């Protein structure tokens, strides 16, 4: 059994020789994040598995969607909170703080999304994601209808469902192998914003609409898994 | 809201024009199964999503592994039973019946895997998959250790975890969109085997080791999703 | 401990000498079903217990009621799905297929009754039966009221409750003793109906009202327990 | 909707004219208990249903068994505690107090059987009954084995299972119809025993073996349902 | 491990020498109740812990509030029923019987508060307390709003929450140390009231408003913990 | 209904005039923490309630005990994780980071204590605290025995139970009134330690024994509630 300082509790042997496309992807992670997320390193024992995971994760989290990238991260975190997933709460909690540019809101959703001050659209989105996590067998037409009433299209509903479902997979894989998050995530976007510091307020309280802003710009674009 | 006879409860607009590789994949499904599984048709509104799903599903269920293809289907069904997923119980229940060449064992696992007469290895495998489904936050080193004691390598444990995790995703996506299984699945491998009919026994009871046999041979190879 | 091919996991000694009335009942089972259901054989170690069980089961499932016999079987299966009861899902799943004359609907209810396309009356009936199964302590006047609004009389509500309650008993007795269903049930009403085969549809989708038809006619009348 | 002072929340119309055997049974209840238990009055709208219920209940609770009548009442109460069943906790809680001749032990089991000071045999019996109530789908051979190791025969295991299963039925029927217990039960065996009063102890604490004594004697023999 | 006849399952050494204020408090208990509640004796190993507990318990249960003392006891019992706490169900069940001067209502709430015939205000109060007990993470503004609509002020809501929360603490401490209730509680207010005896009714049924009456008067004032 | 930027969702009117002892306590909070924790401000509408809360919290968390102050904070956080309590995860998560002088370990326990690398003693302690939180009715002698085997005295077991129980109270009060944590907590001990930054490791991974060190020294001593 590997030591717990390792990336995970399974010994899968040496990493595979990465296909050029995947090697380039890892290199881009190192450039932009300063490290390769451990989930990717965990999958790196097998090119086919790594490739399928990267394609699915990136399409879901970074592809075109009626959901902002921040909203998709919020779903990831709300689902991971139900499943108490250390890996995803750490990595995607960091992503929510970064995309919202708010050191508080990621914590709130990681602890209990009901404690975050969210617009009705996002509350409905997380209500659905959490119910789908807790009781998938009880989803009925009325649950989808609430999303439509909150302004989501059927295409958006697919995306909410697909992201919530994906993290129910990732949470379980991470739990099964005791996947350890890169320590760096803990330190992302933890500083009190200057204006706020002066006022003694959190940014989330001062500007709840921040949670709706979508992170953008080449400099902040980061690939996450 | 689409009628329930449709493939699912969301209206995602017309299918995308499939990329040649995916069009060929659909054609192969029609040849071998006589139909394209509805989950693939559901994903067909977007080439990128369909491709990622097919890559991941086929790698997990048909790629190299220390688990037989039947064993992977058994995990799919045991997980889907916990989540009461109509789509996956129907399609993968059929796959278990087909791969085991036994009309009974798929039913048993779809109802309660504890009711199937399984070798210790497979019992341990399903115990882990079900616990990971029900309480991912409670998986600990001792759970992995039980798999090792049942004869699984760390690489096998990854595969058990990955398949169980994948169906926790698929079950939830299917539930969220009310995905309807192709009717054909209901009729796969339902006939009483001739010898058994004469003896008045089920094949599973007569030959429990059948559940360990792996379906093989080009003629029976079918792509499933 | 008896082998699992036996009827159950307890060794209760030889069957009692059946009282004439019960012996005749067993004979009738053999004539009509081709076998004596294993639950009856399990009870056959004691005439008094067998008699009480047969009286109660037959009154509930075959006696006069505002619920059709199919509806009572649907309750049995929906309850057994919650409890993951292999015996009852197999035997009563077969009964739903037979009484509905539909190879699909029994599967749907055995997997997740919410996936079946049911008239509002039957949906309300199964919602109540399942809630009574999962959280009997939380039933309140509002739950009964929903049944009245779905068109059920107070007498019907008693019957819904009594059937749901009975299978909460039977499921637990079957689980406690690992009762094995007769293999024959697996093969009942599995054929694709001719018309449907031509159209490529399931009968349930083609004719959802089929679930409301009550099986009748001496030839199809079968005693089940 | 009938007033809550009534026997239950359903209006099933007038009681049926009881068959002579059942009328005599009611008369015996009045003689011995001073009243007809409301569950029997509830069933009295239909002779066939009442008869089946009485036969089953009396066989289980008063028939020959390796379990004492007190032990069977303890199972009834422990199961009813899980299900929070007002009717059965009141009526069978009274029965435990009476059969144990101890005003305390019935309360303990109605609140949490783990709080009662029980011999290992009875602890194992209630552990099984409660697990069968909470998670029937998870019962396995090991659960039955624990009962054998606690000294129970396979025939006893059937009886433990059958009684626990029966109260899972009765609890749900009572909950579904809001069955109200006869007020008299509240006052049975509530007095502090004289010796104990002097010592300032409960009888259960002073003589835990009392829970194994079986109430007997014609004068105290009471039919309960 | 101490014998179960002791006050609890932990051996904390001899009681501390009580500070005069606490010694006087114990003396008052003996005068009014005839005994010192075991929870206080359990805490008596440490003056600071005992004092904090007494201050908090007495403020919550006996201090000024928009809730009657009976209502606060009802919350204590409803919460303890969810947690199956033997100590609190026994001691506070007795307190409800005493404050309501009704031998039935305490049993009803200890078994399932939904079985008690309560005015809407008290039903809403217990619904909130039980939901807060079962799923504190799911409390939302709508839950508080239901209390306001039932006539409670924000100050009352604090008190409902504080009492329900306090018994979630006490129940767990009692469970953790296997705290045994004083036997005397079992015998409080068990007699059938004279008028009722003549009419053959329970007082709760005859006078449901009794549950709203607040016990008062120096003679009946008792300190409870 | 007060705005969510307020301390809580209830409007309890103006704070009471604090008794001198409590006013001094608040002043000390401002000196040492820079603010008065919102839970104390919430209680400040009533001197008696505030005093009882402060006495109990400070005795449990800062009084003499065989548990280090860090261990008591770990229990607070592990319990609050089960209950998804935003207030306590934020405030006591900060306290764990501070007392461990480790920016990572508080996150781990707030997410899933099983993901933290803990000595066996602390693992056993948190296993007990979490089980007591989730299923207090199922605690038995064997659970206490595991703590003794992990090296805890009966007096320590009381403290583990009392702290776990207390946060089951606090979590529920906070949830019921939507208590908002002071924003400052989010920023405590978030910096990557210098040595670790150079090595690219978390302190917890580098020195897991840090979790056993007890924070001390006047400068770091802070009163928390």
Q: What are the tens digits of pLDDT across the range E169-189?
A: 999 999 999 999 999 999 999
Instruction: Check whether B224 has a pLDDT greater than 60.
Output: no
Ranges of chain C whose pLDDT falls below 50: 1, 202-225
Q: Is there contact between C and D if contact means ≥3 C-beta pairs under 8 Å?
A: yes
Task: Measure the CA–CA gap between D138 and B115, rounded to whole angstroms.
Answer: 10
Instruction: Check whether D219 has a pLDDT greater than 50.
Output: no
At residue B7, the 3 state secondary structure works out as coil
Place of tokens 């009657």: E68
At A123, is the pLDDT very low, low, confident or very high (cuts 50, 70, 90)?
very high
Higher pLDDT, F2 or C14: C14
DSSP C209: G
Closest CA to E154 of E163, E166, E145: E145
Token couple for E65: 């509030």
Q: How far is B47 from chain F (nearest CA, A)?
A: 36
Crossing angle of the two packed helices B69-82 and B105-112, in degrees rounded to 10: 40
* Residue B108: closest C-alpha in chain C: C86
Number of helices and strands in chain B (H, E)? 11, 0
Token couple for C69: 């016999």
Helix ranges, B83-225 (H): 86-100, 105-112, 120-134, 141-149, 154-177, 194-199, 203-206
Q: Is there contact between F and C if contact means ≥3 C-beta pairs under 8 Å?
A: no
The sign of the torsion formed by the CA atoms of C94, C96, C98, C103 equals negative
A114 close to E138: Cβ distance less than 8 angstroms: yes
Residues of E in contact with A114 (CB under 8 A): 137-140
Residues of F in contact with A111 (CB under 8 A): 84-86, 89-90, 110
What is the per-residue pLDDT for A14?
86
DSSP A35: S
Interface with D, mutate which of B114, B118, B120, B126 (most D CBs under 10 A): B114
Number of helices and strands in chain C (H, E)? 11, 0
Residues of B in contact with A169 (CB under 8 A): 165-166, 168-169
- At CA A66, angle to CA A62 and CA A72, rounded to 5? 50
Please enumerate residues of B whose Cβ is less than 8 A from a Cβ of F: 137-140
Dihedral-angle region of residue A200 (phi above 0 means left; psi in -120 to 50 means alpha; beta otherwise): left
Please enumerate residues of C whose Cβ is less than 8 A from a Cβ of A: 112, 114
Alpha-carbon separation of residue C182 from A96, B201, C7 (angstroms): 55, 9, 8
Q: How far is C144 from chain E (nearest CA, A)?
A: 14
How close are the terminal C-alpha atoms of chain D, in Å?
Answer: 25
Token couple for A219: 């400099």
F188 Cβ contact list (under 8 Å, min separation 6): F94, F97, F98
Average pLDDT over chain A reads 88
At D192, is the pLDDT very low, low, confident or very high (cuts 50, 70, 90)?
confident
A162 Cβ contact list (under 8 Å, min separation 6): A60, B49, B173
Interface with C, mutate which of B112, B171, B180, B182 (most C CBs under 10 A): B112
Task: Measure the CA–CA gap between F181 and F100, rounded to whole angstroms.
Answer: 21
What is the per-residue pLDDT for E208?
36
Task: Measure the CA–CA gap between C186 and B214, rounded to whole angstroms.
Answer: 23
Instruction: Check whether B145 has a pLDDT greater than 90.
Output: yes
Give the residue-averaged pLDDT of B175-189: 97
The sign of the torsion formed by the CA atoms of D90, D91, D97, D98 equals positive
**Neighboring chains of C (3 or more beta-carbon pairs < 8 A):** A, B, D, E
Helix/strand/coil (H/E/C) assignment for every residue in F53-96: HHHHHHHHHHCCCCCCHHHHHHHHHHHHHHCCCHHHHHHHHHHH
Average pLDDT over chain E reads 88
Instruction: Check whether D151 has a pLDDT greater than 80.
Output: yes
Task: Measure the CA–CA gap between D130 and D161, rounded to whole angstroms.
Answer: 10
Residues of E in contact with C138 (CB under 8 A): 114
B108-125 tens-digit pLDDT: 999 999 999 999 999 999
A160 close to A67: Cβ distance less than 8 angstroms: yes
**Maximal CA-CA distance, chain E:** 53
E74 close to E122: Cβ distance less than 8 angstroms: yes
Task: Measure the CA–CA gap between E160 and E168, rounded to whole angstroms.
Answer: 12
F57-67 tens-digit pLDDT: 999 999 999 99
Decide if B164 and A141 are in contact by the 8 Å CB cutoff: no
Token couple for D55: 């036969």
Give the residue-averaged pLDDT of F14-20: 92
What is the per-residue pLDDT for E6?
84
Other beta carbons less than 10 A from residue D178's beta carbon: 22
The sign of the torsion formed by the CA atoms of E186, D191, D83, E209 equals negative
Q: What is the signed CA dihedral for C188, C191, C192, C193, rounded to 10 degrees?
A: -80
At E4, is the pLDDT very low, low, confident or very high (cuts 50, 70, 90)?
low
Residues of C in contact with D10 (CB under 8 A): 144, 154-155, 157-158
Residues of F in contact with E168 (CB under 8 A): 165, 168-169, 172
Q: How far is B112 from chain D (nearest CA, A)?
A: 7
Give the residue-averaged pLDDT of B124-145: 98
User: Which range among A217-221, C77-81, E51-55, F184-188 shows the weakest confidence by mean pLDDT?
Assistant: A217-221
A50-96 tens-digit pLDDT: 999 999 999 999 999 999 999 999 999 999 999 999 999 999 999 99
F93 close to F106: Cβ distance less than 8 angstroms: yes
* Residue B80: closest C-alpha in chain C: C111
CA-based R_g, chain E, Å: 18
Decide if B165 and A158 are in contact by the 8 Å CB cutoff: no
B177 close to B8: Cβ distance less than 8 angstroms: yes
Token couple for A185: 């995530």
Q: How far is E3 from chain F (nearest CA, A)?
A: 11
Task: Measure the CA–CA gap between F103 and F105, rounded to whole angstroms.
Answer: 6
At E196, is the pLDDT very low, low, confident or very high (cuts 50, 70, 90)?
low
| ipTM attached to this prediction | 0.88
At D157, is the pLDDT very low, low, confident or very high (cuts 50, 70, 90)?
very high
Task: Measure the CA–CA gap between D101 and D215, rounded to whole angstroms.
Answer: 8
- At CA D122, angle to CA D116 and CA D124, rounded to 5? 105
* Residue F140: closest C-alpha in chain D: D114
Instruction: Check whether B22 has a pLDDT greater than 60.
Output: yes
Residues of D in contact with C47 (CB under 8 A): none
Give the residue-averaged pLDDT of D18-23: 98
Nearest to C161 among D48, D168, D176 (CB): D176
At E221, is the pLDDT very low, low, confident or very high (cuts 50, 70, 90)?
very low
User: Among residues of chain A, what percentage have pLDDT more than 70?
Assistant: 84
CB burial of residue B204 (10 Å; 0-12, 13-18, 19+): buried
B192 close to B103: Cβ distance less than 8 angstroms: yes
DSSP per position, E145-201: HHHHHTT--HHHHHHHHHHHHHHHHHHHHHHHHTPPPPGGGGGTT-SPPHHHHHHT-
Decide if E205 and D191 are in contact by the 8 Å CB cutoff: no
What is the per-residue pLDDT for B100?
96
Alpha-carbon separation of residue E89 from D48, D115, E72, E95, F125 (angstroms): 39, 12, 14, 10, 27
Token couple for F68: 């280090």
C175 close to D158: Cβ distance less than 8 angstroms: no
Helix ranges, chain A (H): 20-33, 38-43, 47-62, 69-82, 86-100, 105-112, 120-134, 141-149, 154-177, 194-199, 203-206
What is the per-residue pLDDT for C196?
56
E112 Cβ contact list (under 8 Å, min separation 6): C137, D84, D85, D86, E81
DSSP A15: P
E39 close to E92: Cβ distance less than 8 angstroms: no
Task: Measure the CA–CA gap between F52 and D147, rounded to whole angstroms.
Answer: 48
F40 Cβ contact list (under 8 Å, min separation 6): F25, F26, F29, F50, F53, F54, F225
Decide if C140 and E112 are in contact by the 8 Å CB cutoff: no
D38 close to D179: Cβ distance less than 8 angstroms: yes
Place of tokens 């709003």: E145
Q: What is the pTM of this model?
A: 0.90
What is the per-residue pLDDT for F6?
84
Size of interface A-B (CB pairs under 8 A): 143
At D14, is the pLDDT very low, low, confident or very high (cuts 50, 70, 90)?
confident
Instruction: Check whether B204 has a pLDDT greater than 50.
Output: no
Alpha-carbon separation of residue F221 from D146, F29, F95 (angstroms): 52, 11, 11
Average pLDDT over chain B reads 88
Other beta carbons less than 10 A from residue D24's beta carbon: 11
Nearest to C9 among D10, D11, D141 (CB): D141
A49 Cβ contact list (under 8 Å, min separation 6): A43, B59, B162
Decide if F176 and E170 are in contact by the 8 Å CB cutoff: no
Q: How far is B23 from chain C (nearest CA, A)?
A: 22
Task: Measure the CA–CA gap between D40 and F149, rounded to whole angstroms.
Answer: 52
Give the residue-averaged pLDDT of A98-106: 95
Average pLDDT over chain F reads 88
Residues of B in contact with A132 (CB under 8 A): 172, 175-176
């Amino acid at each position: 059994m590997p030591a717990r300082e390792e990336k995970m509790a399974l010994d899968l042997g040496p990493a595979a020789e990465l296909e050029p496309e995947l090697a380039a992807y890892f290199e881009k992670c190192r450039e932009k994040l300063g490290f390769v997320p451990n989930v990717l390193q965990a999958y790196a024992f097998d090119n086919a598995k790594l490739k399928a995971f990267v394609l699915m994760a990136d399409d879901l989290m970074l592809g075109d969607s009626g959901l902002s990238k921040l909203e998709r991260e919020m779903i990831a975190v709300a689902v991971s909170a139900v499943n108490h997933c250390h890996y995803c709460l750490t990595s995607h909690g960091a992503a929510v703080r970064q995309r919202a540019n708010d050191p508080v809101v990621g914590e709130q959703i990681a602890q209990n999304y009901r404690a975050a001050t969210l617009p009705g659209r996002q509350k409905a989105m997380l209500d659905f994601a959490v119910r789908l996590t807790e009781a998938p067998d009880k989803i009925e037409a009325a649950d989808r209808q609430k999303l439509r009433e909150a302004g989501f299209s059927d295409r958006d509903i697919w995306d909410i469902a697909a992201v919530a479902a994906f993290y129910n997979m990732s949470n379980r894989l991470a739990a099964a192998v005791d996947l350890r998050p890169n320590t760096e995530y803990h330190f992302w976007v933890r500083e009190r914003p200057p204006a706020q510091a002066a006022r003694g307020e959190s940014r989330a309280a001062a500007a709840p609409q921040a949670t709706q802003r979508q992170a953008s710009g080449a400099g902040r674009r980061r690939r996450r898994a």
